[in-house]
Amino acid sequence: MNPPRMLVFDLDGTLVDTAPDLISALNYVLDREGMAPVPLDSARNMIGAGARKLLERGLEVDGRVMSVGDIDRLTRDFIDYYADHIADASRPFDGLESALDDLAGQGFRFAVCTNKLEWLSKRLLDQLGLSARFAAICGADTFGVAKPDPAILRETVARAGGQIAATIMVGDAGPDVGVARRAGVPVIGVEFGYTDVPIAELKPDRLIGHMRDLPAAVDSLVRANGAF
C-alpha cells in the first residue's frame, strides 16, 4: 500500500492570519514596560521565528537593550497573555477550508510544522475548529529543533504517518523554503504571509496569492514529480 500523500503547512501567515493577536500581545508587554506600541501593518513581518524573536524585534524598534533574564521574563509574560487571547482576532485565511476539503477528497493527509510552540499551536487550531484536519501538529519544542532544520519536517511527516518522498511543504517565509530544500521536498510559497524577504525572491517551486489556488498548485507539483 502506498503511503499517503502529505501536505505539511506552516501555521502563522500560512494557515491562519495570527498577526492581530500576536502584535496585540507584543504591545501589551511593551506598554507595561513603558514602551510605545508597534503598528500592526509594519509589525506583521516581524512574525515567524517564535515568541522570543518577536519580542526581541519589538524591543529593537524601541532601541531598548535588555538582559537575557529580562527577555526571558518578558517572553513568559508574552506567552501567558497570548495564550489567553490566542484567537480573539486570528482567523483562517480566506479559502483555506474549501482548499483543504478539495485536497482531502483527493486523498491528501495534512500536518502542521511550525516554529510556534506546540501547545499554543494546538490551542489556536482547537479554538478555530481546525485541529481535526491535521494528522500531526508539531512545533519548535516538539522535537527540540526548529525550521529550517530538516529534522523537524522529517519527524512531523513521520508522526503524521507519511513519507518524506510523498510530501509537499506549504509556507510563507524563509524557514519554510529552507526546511523544504534541506529535506528534499517541493515547496509552495504563499504571498499573503509574514516575511521580511518577499517570498518570490526565495524561489519556491510554486507561488500562490490566495488559498483558492492551492489545489491547482499542488496538482501541478504532483504532475511534475513522478514520485507521487
Provide mean pLDDT across the span 12-27: 95
Three-state SS at 40: helix
Grid-cell match 529552507, residue found: 178
Q: Averaged over 185-214, what is the pLDDT?
A: 96
Check residue 196 and give left, alpha or beta (phi > 0: left; psi -120 to 50: alpha).
alpha
Q: What is the grid cell recorded at 71?
A: 527577555
Q: Assess whether the previous peptide bond of 215 is cis (omega < 30° from 0).
A: no
List Cα–Cα distances, 25 to 28, 63, 157, 217, in angstroms: 5, 19, 31, 34
Cell of 101: 476539503
Q: Looking at domain 5-17+90-224, what is its CATH homologous superfamily?
A: HAD superfamily/HAD-like (3.40.50.1000)
Assess whether 84 carries a catalytic annotation: no
In our burial notation (b when 16+ CB lie closer than 10 A, e otherwise), range 184-222 reads ebbbbbbeebbbeeebeebebbbbbeebebbbebbeebb
Query: Per the confidence metrics, is the pTM higher than 0.85?
Result: yes
Instruction: Report the distance separating Cα 186 and Cα 89, nearest Å.
Output: 32
In CATH terms, the fold of domain 19-84 is: DNA polymerase; domain 1 (1.10.150)
Q: Where are the domains of the chain?
A: 5-17+90-224, 19-84
Is 87 exposed, middle or buried, given 0-12, 13-18 or 19+ CB atoms closer than 10 A?
middle
Is 48 a residue whose pLDDT tops 90?
A: no
Catalytic residue (one of 10, 149, 172, 176): 10
Q: What is the pLDDT of residue 1?
A: 65
pLDDT at 159: 98
d(CA 89, CA 18): 8
